[in-house]
Structure 1
């Protein structure tokens, strides 16, 4: 998605829990946010509710586990080990997203580690229940397929970015994508609240930390972003888009 869609509900709504009903609102770009009420209810009838504290490893790379996690509230980071055993941040996921579906679909060892970045609420679904739902429910099957395709498109785009653009451009694209997918409106700003460190952001961009720090400083001095402790406010989304996609 290149531009904000102003024709319908704001896609930058913060996932929230309505305490009286025990339900949440999710970004429309997420799997849960894109489902109809009926389909979402069917999907959330699967599995059991679970909660975990910050720093919990939910899925470990190379493990043989095959369960699926439907994230309801919170943030997780997806990491992998490089050949020289460094930890690389591959993606972030929030409430409304699905994780673990690759292992459930093909039965192969986990391709990455998933760790909670804060308090997390999710539904834990066994592989058998997940596959049965996809077999019997065409709407859910199509929604999960679209979600998988979206992830693969993002992965391909990132590979192209790494090969064909410099670090400042890659940083701008990462911030732009995060803002458009998970940002929260705060006045005229779009705020990204991530419990991610600067080294983790550098890993996501694929650049050295000093390089990312310098690029972020330039965006700040240009009045495009304003960053604080684990928080980035996009002040001008169109200028950011211009830097990200020159």
Structure 2
């Protein structure tokens, strides 16, 4: 257990062992995907490498921990507790992204609970090592700053995008964003491989669950999406886009 998080055994490596994988095809907008090879290599020397199983809580909202996780592979979700006791889905992070940097920078309690959506490989670094790395390497510091700004811009855009929209439009925009950002293209559509529940969709869309159920039925009937147990598949991205962003 490190910083309160129980990890799976480290991948074997070293003399006589299988060398763990070091590189993935990280998206260009992600922190690792946008760094040059030299700077990325220096960042990936931080901390220890660990694997986490599905549904593992890595960080808890309001906890006073300050380590950071550099996601190498897999998907995590960040959730926050609402006043009425529900879990609101705040964000999704994938391989290439940084998680937990807010608490590392300002030493405040965790702003969200972070849970794995399937197996995850990451590097866990202490706050001291992370901040020292940024002080020593301006390129890494600049990349982390851009990453934080991008997250804040996305949060602002999410709020603005939903102003004045009905539930159907908001949910269609949520699904389109998830498919385009985190989905794997499949023909005319995209598959979202990590589990997402309808209550989580409701919190993302700022809607009541019964309203989300009704809209999903309409989207399925139109041939835009398919749903299963904790799964969503976009069957027609163009159709979903037209529903999410109708012509004025």
Say whether the fold is shared (TM-score over 0.5).
Answer: yes
Distance 1:158 1:61 in 2: 22
Distance 2:227 2:55 in 1: 23
Between 80-89 and 99-108, the greater mean CA deviation after superposition: 80-89
Count residues in correspondence. Answer: 228
Larger RCO, structures 1/2 (Cα 8 Å, 6+ apart): 1
How many Å apart are 1:86 and its aligned residue?
Answer: 2.0
Query: Who is 1:85 aligned against?
Result: 85
Aligned partner of residue 233 in structure 1, secondary structure: strand
Contact 1:189–1:234 (CA<8 Å) still a contact in 2?
yes
Distance 2:88 2:139 in 1: 34
Q: Which ranges in structure 2 are unaligned for 5 or more consecutive residues? A: 1-17
**TM-score for both structures, normalised by structure 2:** 0.84
How many Å apart are 1:162 and its aligned residue?
Answer: 4.1
Is residue 30 from structure 1 mapped to residue 30 from structure 2 by the alignment? yes
Query: Who is 2:208 aligned against?
Result: 208
How many Å apart are 1:208 and its aligned residue?
Answer: 1.6
Contact 1:193–1:230 (CA<8 Å) still a contact in 2?
no
Distance 1:177 1:28 in 2: 17
* Greater C-alpha Rg: 2
How many Å apart are 1:224 and its aligned residue?
Answer: 2.2
Aligned partner of residue 108 in structure 1, secondary structure: coil
**TM-score for both structures, normalised by structure 1:** 0.85
Query: Who is 2:176 aligned against?
Result: 176
Distance 1:223 1:61 in 2: 38
How many Å apart are 1:21 and its aligned residue?
Answer: 5.9
Is residue 54 from structure 1 mapped to residue 54 from structure 2 by the alignment? yes
Query: Who is 2:39 aligned against?
Result: 39
Q: Which ranges in structure 1 are unaligned for 5 or more consecutive residues? A: 1-18
Query: Who is 2:11 aligned against?
Result: none
